[in-house]
Amino acid sequence: MEPSELKNLGTDELPPMQASLNLHVGNEMLVIEKDREPQPISSPSFTSEVLPPMALAIVKSREFICMPPFLVALLVSPVRTAINGISNISTMIDPNFEGFLLLNFANLSPWDLQIAPGDLVCRAVFHMVAQVGHLREFTEYSPKYQPTHGPHLLLKDIIDLRVKDMQRTVHSPILQEKLQKWIAAKKTE
């Protein structure tokens, strides 16, 4: 693909481009530690939270993502977060994805870390998977992207869907059990 193919119509300017996007802690988080029940944290009370060593955090992103059909994104740990001991659990954002992301990261350091809304968690690095002018046309028979989250925008609803997915596959039964208990407790609140 030639850069000239991306030029704005009517001008000779190239559109603004960025190879990556920083992703931040949103207003909901679930902290999972070895011997404790998952601890939900959400706004407006969520100002800062301690993430103990070897704990896992599942965070709803601050950013609402709308991916075009010709890009994917790989989630990676920026150097400044990795130096502090935070490791992002890498994953992909599919073409046409629309919604908040579940950002999974772990405190691999031997010390407690403070996590607050707006903190940098990971970076989405974009990769083109099709030429913009040569997108495959969808027909009624071609597979279409099904939104992962649909109308479920609360973290507990999104995790509930993930637990149901986990039940159909082989995943950690301990994590699955902890998440199921957390969801059951949220439903009785």
* Assigned fold of 17-132: Deoxyuridine 5'-Triphosphate Nucleotidohydrolase; Chain A (2.70.40)
State the Cα–Cα distance between residues 162 and 177, nearest whole angstrom: 12
pLDDT band at 125 (very low <50, low <70, confident <90, very high): very high
pLDDT digits 0-9 by tens, 43-93: 676 788 888 999 988 888 999 988 888 889 999 988 877 777 788 877 889
Nearest to 65 by CA among 7, 134, 148, 133: 148
Provide the whole-model pTM: 0.65
State the Cα–Cα distance between residues 168 and 180, nearest whole angstrom: 14
Per-residue pLDDT at 141 exceeds 80: no
Nearest to 71 by CA among 94, 102, 92: 94
Q: What pLDDT, on a 0 to 100 scale, did the predictor assign at position 6?
A: 53
Q: Which residue has the higher pLDDT, 128 or 12?
A: 128
Nearest to 19 by CA among 86, 91, 71, 93: 71
Which of 34-38, 42-46, 98-102 is predicted with the least confidence, judged by mean pLDDT? 42-46
Q: Where are the domains of the chain?
A: 17-132
pLDDT band at 147 (very low <50, low <70, confident <90, very high): low
